[in-house]
Chains A and B, each alone.
Chain A
Amino acid sequence: MQLTYLEAITDALRCALRDDERVFLLGEDIGVMGGAFKVTAGLFDEFGPDRVIDTPISEEAIVGGAVGAAIVGMRPVCEMQFADFVACGFDQLVNVAGKLHYRLGLAAPIVLRLPSGGGVAGGPYHSANPEAWFVHAPGLKVVAPSTAEDAKGLLLAAIADPNPVVFMEHKGLYRRVRGEVPEEPYETPFEARTVRDGDELVVITYGAMVHAALAAIEQLDGASIRLLDLRSLEPLDEEAILAAARDCSKVVIVDEANYSCAIGAQVSSLIAERAFEDLDGPIIRVATPDVPIPFAPELERAVLPSVERIRAACEELLAY
C-alpha cells in the first residue's frame, strides 16, 4: 500500500498494539488528540485508554515509567513531543535505561520516538537532531529511517528489540515522503541500505539528508556516485561503510545534525582509522554548523546542508 512516512509509523504502532498485548503507548497529547503531528490518530479510539496513555508534561516520568513497565514484561513505546524535549528525560534514558542491563542484567525493552529535524521553521527548540547524545551513551540503540517502508520496519524491529531503542522520526518527512509499504508486519534489520550504487564516490548519510543527497547526486549525471543510507546509527553498519570506502575511495558524509561529534564524525573517524589505505582523497563532511537552528527560513536554509552544498562537495572531491 502507498503510505506517507507518517502513515507508515501509525501503521507500525497499530500492528504492534494489535499483535502484542504487552505493547502500550505513553506520551503527551497522543491519545484523544492523536498526537501533535497526528501520528497516533485513531489509535486511542481503536485500543482505548489503557493502551494509549495521555501523560502529564513529564518526560522523566514518561521514560522512567516506561523502564519500570518494561522490566515487569511490558513493551512500552513512548513519544517525546519533539526530539528537543528528550533533554527533559535524559537522566532516565541515559542513566537508568542505558545502564540497566550492564549493571543488573535486567533488560529494558522500551522504544522512544523522537520527532526530529529541521526545515520547518521550528526554531531552536523544535528542530533538533540529538541522536549523537544517545549513540555516545552506552546501552542504547538508535535508528533513523528515511523512507516510509523503513519507518514501519525499523519501528517494529525496535519494539521487538530487548534493548532501549531511540527512534529518530524526521518530522519534515512525515508528509513529504511516501512509498510502497507492505501490509503485513515486518522488521527491518539495523543495517545500512545502498540507495544507489556507484564506484567513484560515496555519499554516506541518513534521515532527511538521504533525499537531499539523492537530489544532489542526480544533478551530477555521469558520475558514478554511491549513496549509503545508514538507517542504524547504533549499531553502526561498519561493514557497509568500510566496503563503500574501499570501493569508491572518495567519501562525502552529510549530517543534518550539528557538525561537532555528529554521527558523521564517528563515520569519518572509522574510515580514517580502518580504510586509510583505500582513500584517494580527504573525507569531506557537510553538516549544519554548531548553532541552534534559527527560526527565519532564510537563516535556517543558510545553515542546514542544502542540495547545492552537497553537490559542490561531491564535485570538488570527484575532481581531486
Chain B
Amino acid sequence: MPTERTSAENRVEVLLPSLGISVVEGTIVRWRKQAGDAVVYEEPICDIATDKIESELPAPATGTLVEILVEEGETVDVGTALAIVETDQERADAIAAQQASVLDAAYGVHVQPGEEGAVSPVVARLAQDLGVDLATVKGTGAGGRVRKQDVIAAAEHDKLAARYEPPPPVALSHMRRSIGAHMKRSLDTAATVTSWIEVDFSAIERTRMEIGTTALPIVAKATLQTLAEFPDLNAWIDGERFTRHETVNLGVAVAIDGGLIVPVVRSAQELSVLELASAIRDLAQRARSGELAPDELADGTFTITNPGQFGTVMATPVISQPQVAILDIEAIVRRPVAVEDEIAIRPICILGLSWDHRALDGAIAARFLGALRARLEAWGGG
C-alpha cells in the first residue's frame, strides 16, 4: 500500500497506511506537526490508531507540511490523504503506474470459435424446438457463429412476420352471387346518390295502431301518392332511354333465408292501405316459402326497402335496375325534438332515397322527400 502520492511535481500526499492484515480504517490520535512546520524524511508527523495497534506515521519526504486534511479524532479509510508535504527538491515519481497484468498473454481469454456452420448442441436443439431454419439465421457470435440468442430472436421475428393463413373458402350460393352481381351492376351503372329526411311518425303510429298494420303499408301508400306528383321517380333508365311509367309496380324488399328478394305489387297505386298491407304480407310469405312466380318478381318501377326492425337508422340502398330510385325506411326511434320552442319526444324515422343522377337531380329528390314527409306527418288529418 503506497503511503504517499505525488499529485504535482513537488506536492506529496501523505496517505493512511494499512497497519495490519484486514485493517480498513484508522483514527488520527495526535498531530505532532502543524501546517507550516518543516519535516524531515521518516520523522514522525502524527500518531494513528487502528483497532489492533497504535503507530507513528513517518513523513514520506523532506520539506514543509503545508496542509492538514484530516483532524485529530477523525476516523478515515486506509488510503485516505491525511496531509500535504511540499518537497524542496525534485522527486522522481516513485509510484509506478499500475502494471497491466503480465498474465493476460498466458491466462487471458482467447476463445476460438469453431468452424463455419458448426452449432453447439443447445443451439441445434433450440432451433428444432422453435422451428427455426438455422440456414436462415444470421449469427452474431464470434466469427459469425450462431448463438442461442440469435435463434431465439429469429423465432420471435418469424412469429411476427408470419402470413395469416386464412381458412379454406367456401363457394357462394347461386342467390348470393346473383344478388351480388345485380348490386355491383347497379352501382357500376347508375350514378347513385342518397338523400335523407327525418320524419315525425306520430301520425303514422296513431294510424297504424288504429288500423292494425305495420307502418310499411301506410308509408307505401303515402309514397305512391307522392310519386304521382313526381313521375320522374317512377321510371326506368337504360343508357340514353328514359321510360316514365304511369302505373307503379311497387317492389318491396323481403329478407329471406340466405339473401334478399323483391316481389312486386302490380299497379299498387290502385290499392288502399289495407289492401297494400295484405298484398305485401302475402308476397312476403310466399317469398320466404319460395312460392313466388317469376312474373311476380318482374317489372318493378319503384322499390321500398324496410330493414328498420333491427334498429339501424340510415342506409345507402342500392337502386334496383333499371329503376331510378329506391326508398329506405329505417327504425322508428323516439327522440327529443324541438316542436315550436319546446322539447317533445316524438317517434322519428329517417327515410333515405337513393336516386340515379343520370335521370334526375337532387332538387327533385329533395322535393319528393319533402312532399312525402308532409303527407306522412299530416296522415289521417293529424
Which A residues form the contact surface with B (CB < 8 A)? 6, 37-38, 120-122, 126, 171-172, 174-176, 200, 249, 259, 276-282, 284, 286-287, 289, 297-298, 301-303, 306, 308-309, 312-313, 316-317, 319-320
Cβ-defined contact, B109 with A317, below 8 A: yes
Chain B positions 110-141 with a Cβ under 8 Å from a chain A Cβ: 111, 113, 120-123, 125, 141
Apart from A289-B103, A316-B109, what 6 extra A-B contacts exist at CB < 8 Å? Answer: A278-B122, A279-B120, A281-B120, A286-B107, A289-B106, A319-B142
CB < 8 Å: which of B23, B52, B148 contacts A280?
A: B148
B119 (CB) vs chain A CBs: closest residue: A280
CB < 8 Å: which of B52, B101, B125, B141 contacts A302?
A: B101
Which of chain A's residues have a CB closer than 8 A to the CB of B18?
A: 120-121
Q: In the complex the two chains form, what is the Cα distance from A284 to B145 in whole Å?
A: 18
CB < 8 Å: which of A176, A280, A313 contacts B24?
A: A176
Q: Binary interface profile of B, 89-114, with partner A (CB < 8 Å = 1, else 0)? A: 00000001011011100111101010
Cβ-defined contact, A320 with B99, below 8 A: no
Which B residues form the contact surface with A (CB < 8 A)? 1-2, 18, 21-25, 51-52, 96, 98-99, 101-103, 106-109, 111, 113, 120-123, 125, 141-142, 145, 147-149
**Whole-angstrom distance from the CB of B27 to the nearest CB of chain A?**
14
Cβ-defined contact, A280 with B109, below 8 A: no
Q: In the complex the two chains form, what is the Cα distance from A287 to B108 in whole Å?
A: 10
Cβ-defined contact, A276 with B121, below 8 A: yes
Q: In the complex the two chains form, what is the Cα distance from A262 to B12 in whole Å?
A: 43
Cβ-defined contact, A298 with B21, below 8 A: no
* Top 6 closest pairs, chain A to chain B, by CB: A120-B21, A174-B22, A277-B121, A316-B109, A280-B148, A320-B142
Cβ-defined contact, A280 with B111, below 8 A: no
Which of chain A's residues have a CB closer than 8 A to the CB of B109?
A: 284, 312-313, 316-317
Jot down 24 A-B pairs with beta carbons below 8 A, ordered by A: A37-B21, A37-B22, A38-B51, A38-B52, A120-B18, A171-B22, A174-B22, A176-B22, A276-B121, A277-B121, A278-B122, A280-B148, A281-B111, A282-B111, A284-B111, A286-B107, A289-B106, A289-B107, A298-B98, A301-B98, A302-B101, A312-B108, A317-B111, A320-B142
Which of chain A's residues have a CB closer than 8 A to the CB of B25?
A: 175
Which of chain B's residues have a CB closer than 8 A to the CB of A37?
A: 21-22
Q: In the complex the two chains form, what is the Cα distance from A256 to B23 in whole Å?
A: 20
Which of chain B's residues have a CB closer than 8 A to the CB of A276?
A: 121
Cβ-defined contact, A320 with B22, below 8 A: no
B140 (CB) vs chain A CBs: closest residue: A319
Q: In the complex the two chains form, what is the Cα distance from A313 to B110 in whole Å?
A: 9
Which of chain B's residues have a CB closer than 8 A to the CB of A313?
A: 109
Which of chain B's residues have a CB closer than 8 A to the CB of A281?
A: 111, 120
Q: In the complex the two chains form, what is the Cα distance from A302 to B105 in whole Å?
A: 12
Q: In the complex the two chains form, what is the Cα distance from A298 to B97 in whole Å?
A: 9
Cβ-defined contact, A120 with B22, below 8 A: yes
